[in-house]
Amino acid sequence: MEKALILINKMSSDPAEDELDVLEQARVVEEALLENGYQVHREFLDLDLLTARTAIMSFHPDLIFNLVESLDGKGELVFLPTALLESLDIPYTGCQLDSMYLTSNKVLAKKKLIQKGLPTADWYTSAQASMIPPDKRYIIKPVWEDASVDIDDHVVFTGSDPGLKEYFIRNPLKKAFIEEYIEGREFNISILGGENGPEVLPPAEIRFMNFPEGKPRIVGYRSKWKEDSFEYRNTIRSFDFPVEDRDLLARLKALCLSCWKEFNLRGYARVDFRVDGKGHPFILEINANPCISPDAGFYAACQTAGYPFSDVILRIIYDAFH
């Protein structure tokens, strides 16, 4: 029987909802691996990489399923587990080191998007805050963190709002950048690898229901994790589209495949878009190894496509070996 090791980040002493979610991902992956005939073991990773390496090698896995989302609670260290796995000469799932580093740093990813001629929203560093046009709306985003950490209404400003510059004065150590807020629709589109190459799964639109005028239509932390909040209850994922969206969805699909190629993605990924009122798409983020818990967008897209999750895991594993 082949052996698979599920690698996840060690929990902090008081984990928040976004951190605990990796345990749910590990559960559904373990079920799928068992269904596919693997013997399964879990290993929790922290900054002691030498001890982790010894523990991994003592299990003698044929495959490592990498679910690590951070180390020591820091998103900027998410590439380190991949660097460790690169050194072990054991097949592992998901994206490789270069892709993990490039996509986890949102500013580097945006620079590469521009270099490759792919559309993305304009952005500024914190040092460029004084250069921002006053008549547009902006959102302050963490450079490294995912899961909408530090994102909610309080980080949306107009360029003329003194609160935008004051944010960085109050948070001098915050690793953040300023992105133009695109008024319009939001799409999350998942991609699955496998023997026949990358497949763009059914697109999902995030619909903001009953949002009052002026309230930012964003997928913030409350939308994702606070079940008793207005944002959580009124931010709806939909896979249903009218026929007039056909051309737009085709453009979004083509952009997803371009991202897969240009960022050297592998296994599974998700690309997040905003589309403005004129129908122009903007790539917001490229998510390597996105969340695959049952309530996440990737899992929902697989269900909508009619794929059993055990088959999805086999396709992700195929990319690990090829």
Beta-bridge partners for 285 = 272
- Site of tokens 């020591």: 72
Residues 212-265: pLDDT tens digits?
Answer: 998 999 998 889 888 999 999 999 999 999 999 999 999 999 999 999 999 999
At 221, which amino acid appears? Y
φ, ψ of residue 96 in degrees (nearest 5): -85, 180
CA dist list (Å): 13 to 10, 16, 20, 46, 298:
10, 10, 11, 13, 28
Residue 248 backbone zone (phi > 0: left; psi -120 to 50: alpha; other: beta): alpha
| Of 210, 214, 213, 216, nearest in space to 234 by CA | 210
What domains lie within the chain, and their CATH numbers? 3-92 (3.40.50.2300), 102-120+183-203+239-321 (3.30.470.20), 123-180 (no CATH)
pTM for this entry: 0.95
Q: How confident is the model at residue 126 (pLDDT cuts 50, 70, 90)?
A: confident
At 272, which amino acid appears? D
Check pLDDT > 80 for residue 147: no
The pair of structure tokens assigned to 290 is 């996105």
pLDDT of residue 148: 64
Distance of CA 41 to the CA centre of its chain: 25
Check pLDDT > 60 for residue 297: yes
Check pLDDT > 80 for residue 145: no
